[in-house]
Structures are given as structure tokens and as C-alpha cells.
Amino acid sequence: MSKLPTQHPDVEVSPLPARLALGQEADVDRYIARLEAFERGELTATEWKQECRLNGVYDQRQDGLMMIRIKVPGGILTPRMIEAFATASERWGHDRNHVTTRQNIQYHFVPEAEVEALLRYLADAGGLTTREACGNSVRNFTACPRAGVSHDEPFDVTPYVEVLAAHFLRQSFSYGLPRKFKPSIGGCCGTDCSAAFINDLGLLARVQDGVPGFKVLAGGGTATLRRSALVVEEFVPATEMLEAAEAVVRVFNRIGNRGNISKARLKWAIDKIGPAAFIGEYHAEREKLRLAGGRPFKLPPQPTPPALKAGLPQASRPLDGYEAWAADSARPQKQAGFSTVEVRLVLGDLTGAQLRGLGRIAAEHGEGELRLTVEQNVLLRYVPTWKLPVVHRELAGLGLAKAGVKTVLDVTSCPGASSCAMAVTQSRGLARLLTDELEARPTVTAKAKELSIKISGCPNGCGQHHVSGLGFQGGMRKIDGKAVPQYLLHVGGAVTPDGARFGRIAAKVPLRKVPDAVERLIALYDAEKRDGERPDDYFGRVPVEQVKAALASLTELGADEAGDADFLDLDEHRQGVELTGPKGSPEDHMC
């Protein structure tokens, strides 16, 4: 049993049940054995790459350096995991825990020779696994970070996340798939908090005639073929959840395209045979599983929710900036007297010390755990509402008390060409630039506070730019034979309760002019919005030609106008660095 390191003076908290420890050193033993086989010439280079991917190990653009992706089902971090991640980042990850848009944690620039030590430490110290975090497998199950505390959820999906993660891990039918398979589970009615409509598998909690269950979606995705997921079954009782999820995976494994990796995702298979035929295959697979006895399961124990004690003391005097921070970051839970606190992470990054500090705050003022979000933030839960000023003060001490959660300041980005071999541009550099520029212009950001901005360094969309109010996709143009970084602008994307709405391509903007383009678009929205209209919805309806006209003077860049800085990507130091396209082929690097 994992216990909180301290007792709350004002809150009664039960010991935390042990979450599923998915890490196994046997996985690392197998990985090393396969490496030795490769070195003896018994595996081809392609087979070895597949083994690396299967174990969450990804070669970077830089030779000899690796990216390591660790699965965090549902984004749930226990005290044990928090300490393991903090220590691992300091030893092997350059003191940077990077939170991804799939609630994983990644380390970059890990020397190849140190991968084994890192994997063993994660499995032993944190019960953590990298197995099937990459590759043609069932990836990390994302989930609503507010599961269990949301006012409008049918029921808490947290225990189901644990069941699903354990069920699919290391199963012969869940790896060696035609292509990667991204799953999610959520439950907030009226929203799609888990972005189910852009996942290969989406499970949305519902209650029908008093019976808990799930709406089953399949075949969503972004990248070069955008598809909103197909509803394959309106309601499946929770007791049949595993059969339904496994049936989707098994159909994909059987009918997916293994001859063309660029058309191998589930969405392509559904397009090929048609929705009706796919649903028929799904029901046939469900029947096979039923006849074989189904997939019964038992929900794991969950923590007893904290309870407020009587006679609460008074909070300390708030720091300057508290009101603005609380307005964005704090949200009442359905449990009276408690609030969630979302911590905005710039670029999704946390140092080891910051992660430990968040763990301490969660232990002293919350439920003891942290939850990662798909917006690359961290959520604290069960914070007594009266203690919000205390939590704000302690976050400020960690450098983590930024206002602007889920606002135009909360820019999402993939790692980009700083490490990813597939990326064309330094998307992190643009995210940092936009964050700095927008924070410095409060009168501008106030006009479109709820606008979402997401950035990807290539068409694959790991930064989810296709479903953002303003989405930027990295690219390049040539001037006098020299590469100039630019971004393809998508406008009006979103994930709604009824499906995904993909942004429309509106312009190609040279990198250095992107901040000016954002400011112009905010002005356009401010001038033309309808009463109560949110920015993302405005950009979903505004004619693309109108956006093009507003940005016309920013999209051109002639040789006589271009300066030395225009040929440099952000965070680069010389012209043309890594702007000649991805290293290797898409077959090698599409993650």
C-alpha cells in the first residue's frame, strides 16, 4: 500500500491503493537480448528498429541519442512514480520531464549506451513500462484527468483505464499491428474531454436504464487523412467493455494495410471497406469473443475520496496575481469544498525538483496523486477550496504559478526538429516565441482569451494542430535555393461532443511573421465575432478567403526582403540547419 508522506491537518485521507505496476525487468532483458542478436547479425536493421519501437525507444535526429517514451495510463502519477520520474530525469533526461499530448512522459537526448540503465530503473523504482509506448501497438490509454471529480460525468472511468491498460499490455493481438493504435476513454457528458473522436478507439461513459457502459468509437485520426471516429456501437455495458475494445483491435489486426505504411492506420481500413462493412466485422469479432467466454474483469480498488474536517483554519493572505491565477486554474469539484488546480507547463516541461514539489503539494493539500493532461499540463485534485491561496503560494515557489490555463497563452507543441527525425521545423521554438509574445501583450490576448493554439513540426500532428482554433504545421520554402522555415496555418479545428472538426488550410506564413499573423487574426475575431461566440467557433465559420486577405502582406517573403534571421529556425544557430526534410524515410520515423 502506498501511503501519503504527510497527514493533512484539515482533511481525512485514506491510504492510496497501489496502482497497477506495469513495469517488468523481463521486458528489458528481452530488449537487451534482441540487441545482442542484432549485433551478431541475427536481426535485420528493420527488425531491430521494430524492437526499439516496441520498447518505447526512438532514435532521434542526432546520431547516438534516443527518445524514451514511458506509458502513463490515464496520466495518473502515484507518489512512487513521481519520485521515479524526478530521479530518472535528473540522471538520464537532462532534468526535463516532457509531458506529451497523450499523457505520456518522454526523455530526449538519452545516450544509446544508457538506455538499458534508464529502462531498468523505471521498471524497478517506479513500476513503469515503456513497452508498447511506441511502435505498431496499442499505445497509452488517455483519459479525462477530471474523472471522478467532474460534475457531469456518468461515472468515474479511472478504474476502467487501469483494466484496459493491463488487458492490452504484452498481448499477442495488441502489438505487431499494421500500424500504431491510439485509444482513449472519457466520460464528461456534453464534452469530448478525452478527444475520443480523433483516436483509433474511443470509449465514452454512458448510463442506460441505470446500467453503466460505453459508447464505442473507432477510426478517428489526424495527419494526412483526417477522420472523425465512427460510432460502431451506441452502448455497450461496462461488463462487456473489454470484448468491445478487443474486437476493434482484432479487426484492425486482420484487415489493416500491411503493404503501405502511409495508409496503414485504422481509418484507412475503414475507408477501404466502408463503415457498414467495418461495423459488421466488429460485431462478428464480438460474437467470437462471446462464444469463447468473453473477457470478464474485476475493477481494481480506488482511493476513498478525502473528506473535509470540521472547523477549517483560515487561509494565509494571497500573493499578488492570485485572483487571475485562480480564475484560470481552479475549478470546483462535484465534491463540496474541494477544487481542482490545473498547472500550466510551458512546452509541457517539468524539472525533477518541480515534479517532486508538485508531488509534495498533492500529498499535503490534495489526494496524493497527480494527473497529466492532453494539453501538456498537470492537474492537482481534492484541494480544499479555502487552501487555494496556499497552493498558489507554493506553486509560485516552484515557478509554476502561471495564469492562463486553457487560454490563448496555453500553447501546445510537439517536440519538433529539436529531436524528432520526422519534423521539419523547431515547433518548440515557435511555441516558446508565441508564449512569450502573447504574455507580453495582455491587451491583445484579452480579446480572444479562449483561443486555442497548437503547433506541430510536420503533417503527422503530434501537437494536434488539426483540431485547434489556430493550428500551425511546420514546413519550409526556398529563397535563392536556401531553406526558410514557415508554417501552414489551419483555422477552426476543434473536438466537439458530436465529432472532430478539422481546421481548414488558410495560409503559409514565414516563421518570423507568425506572431504578427496571430495578432491580426485575434483582431479579426474581435471585430467580427457574434455575441457570445468563442474564438475557435468563429474561425470554424469564417471564410478562408477572408483569413487569407487579412494575412496577405505577411505570407510573402522575397529575396530582397529576407534577412539572415529569416533563414534560421528558432533555437538554431546557423542557416539551413535541419531544414532539408526528415532524416531517413517516413517508414523509419513516423511515430
CATH 3.90.480.20 fits 11-126, yes or no: yes
| Residue range 467-478: mean pLDDT, rounded | 96
Q: Mean of the per-residue pLDDT values for the chain?
A: 92
Asked if 142-291 and 412-589 have one fold, the answer is yes
CB–CB of 226/492 below 8 Å? Answer: no
Question: Would you state the pLDDT for residue 188?
Answer: 81
- pLDDT of 2 strictly over 50: no
Please name the fold of domain 142-291.
Sulfite Reductase Hemoprotein; domain 1 (3.30.413)
- pLDDT tens-digit series, residues 47-74: 999 999 999 999 998 999 999 999 999 9
| Residue range 290-305: mean pLDDT, rounded | 91
Question: Would you state the pLDDT for residue 310?
Answer: 65
**Spatial separation of the C-alpha atoms in residues 231 and 247, rounded to whole Å:** 14
* Lowest-confidence region among 425-429, 504-508, 567-571: 567-571
**Spatial separation of the C-alpha atoms in residues 308 and 484, rounded to whole Å:** 58
For the chain, the structural domain boundaries read: 11-126, 142-291, 412-589
Question: Would you state the pLDDT for residue 314?
Answer: 67
**Spatial separation of the C-alpha atoms in residues 462 and 454, rounded to whole Å:** 10
- pLDDT tens-digit series, residues 507-564: 999 999 999 999 999 999 999 999 999 999 999 999 999 999 999 999 999 888 889 9
324-358 residues labelled b (16+ CB within 10 A) or e (exposed)? ebbebbbbebebebbbbbbbbbbbbebbbebbbbb
CB–CB of 69/56 below 8 Å? Answer: yes
CATH number of 412-589: 3.30.413.10
- pLDDT tens-digit series, residues 200-220: 999 999 999 999 999 999 999
- pLDDT tens-digit series, residues 320-343: 999 999 999 999 999 999 999 999
| Residue range 358-383: mean pLDDT, rounded | 97
Put simply, whether the predicted model's pTM sits higher than 0.85 gets the answer yes
The confidence band for 189, taking pLDDT boundaries of 50, 70 and 90, is low
- pLDDT tens-digit series, residues 144-175: 999 999 999 999 999 999 999 999 999 999 99
Percent of all residues in the chain with a pLDDT value above 90, rounded to a whole number:
85
Question: Would you state the pLDDT for residue 585?
Answer: 35
Question: Would you state the pLDDT for residue 20?
Answer: 77
- pLDDT of 582 strictly over 60: no
- pLDDT of 9 strictly over 70: no
- pLDDT of 100 strictly over 90: yes
- pLDDT of 5 strictly over 50: no
The confidence band for 468, taking pLDDT boundaries of 50, 70 and 90, is very high
**Spatial separation of the C-alpha atoms in residues 458 and 416, rounded to whole Å:** 8
More confident: 314 or 575: 314
* Angle 495-501-502 from CA coordinates, rounded to 5°: 115
DSSP output for 393-461 = HHHHHTT-----TTSTT--EE--GGGT-SS-SS-HHHHHHHHHHHHHT-HHHHGGGTT--EEEESSTT-
| Residue range 260-268: mean pLDDT, rounded | 96
Question: Would you state the pLDDT for residue 19?
Answer: 78
Question: Would you state the pLDDT for residue 17?
Answer: 55
- pLDDT tens-digit series, residues 402-455: 999 999 999 999 999 989 988 999 999 999 999 999 999 999 999 999 999 999
